[in-house]
């Protein structure tokens, strides 16, 4: 799999604002998605492999469910029934889901240095609230700068956001939430707006999210589950950096203040 470009670790690339996916990047929710889905599919003798899961990650609920069930047309499970059972089982876990390693330290650090940041998640707003409610010591530092897939935000041409891998959610987060002049996802783009997009740094764990960040014209750090590295990838977009964990992120490599030594 070649979803990343070679990058000189000593090269300082200046970024000015950061955008974060949530599921599987900030919180350990992808494990729950996998366990619950396979519990449901197990009743039919089926399993969601990582090749299938890779196509679900980063997509809104209905699109992800449609993708999943397309691999199992013979099990007689409707999308409505699948989603009802999946949501019932998942909702029992969201209120105790933990942060992933390195998240708290990084968000605290960015807040301390007044670095503009926002969350751009394919989760619906109600699910976002369930997942983040008990983690407000971290999510509260975003000061409400969060874009969810079902938010009633429209683009300049009156159309709604398209799902990842389209760039809309990251451009909405940068433009409408952080106030950066990045233009519209489907509009004409000035050179100044192109340069402003390049000042953004996206953190993603999913392939569609990585593609969305690159299509937005931003830098992207991809932090995939190790199982994703074995999934065939045929896309044109390449991450600027691949890390094993947010713990490995070095702010100074991107022109940001370094962590305090202590």
**Which residues fall within 8 angstroms of residue 89, CB to CB, at 6 or more apart?**
36, 39, 40
* Cβ-contact 39, 25 below 8 angstroms: no
Catalytic residue among 23, 151, 168, 240: 23
Structure tokens at 127: 């699910």
168 is catalytic: no
**Spatial distance between the Cα atoms of 117 and 60, rounded to a whole number of angstroms:** 22
* Cβ-contact 2, 238 below 8 angstroms: yes
Q: Sheet holding 200-204: strands in order across? A: 146-148, 117-121, 17-20, 200-204, 219-222, 241-242
225 is catalytic: no
User: Which residues are annotated as catalytic?
Assistant: 21, 23
């Amino acid at each position: 799999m070649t979803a990343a470009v070679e990058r000189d670790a000593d090269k300082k690339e200046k970024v000015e604002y950061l955008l974060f996916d949530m599921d599987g990047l900030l919180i350990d929710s992808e494990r729950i998605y996998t366990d619950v889905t396979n519990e449901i599919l197990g009743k039919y003798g089926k399993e969601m492999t990582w090749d299938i899961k890779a196509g679900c990650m980063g997509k809104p609920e209905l699109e992800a469910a449609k993708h999943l069930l397309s691999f199992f047309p013979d099990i007689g499970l409707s999308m409505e029934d699948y989603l009802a059972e999946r949501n019932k089982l998942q909702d029992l876990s969201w209120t105790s889901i933990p942060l992933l390693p390195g998240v708290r330290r990084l968000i605290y650090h960015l807040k301390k240095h007044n670095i503009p940041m926002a969350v751009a998640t394919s989760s619906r707003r109600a699910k976002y609230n369930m997942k983040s409610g008990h983690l407000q010591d971290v999510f509260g530092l975003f000061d409400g700068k969060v874009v969810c897939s079902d938010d009633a935000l429209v683009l300049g041409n009156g159309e709604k956001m398209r799902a990842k891998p389209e760039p809309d959610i990251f451009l909405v987060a940068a433009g409408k939430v952080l106030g950066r002049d990045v233009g519209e996802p489907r509009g004409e783009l000035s050179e100044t707006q192109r340069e402003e997009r390049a000042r953004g740094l996206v953190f993603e764990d999913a392939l569609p999210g990585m593609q969305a960040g690159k299509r937005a014209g931003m830098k992207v750090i991809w932090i995939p589950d190790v199982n994703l590295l074995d999934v065939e990838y045929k896309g044109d977009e390449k991450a600027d950096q691949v890390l094993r964990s947010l713990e490995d992120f070095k702010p100074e490599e991107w022109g940001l203040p370094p962590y305090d030594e202590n």
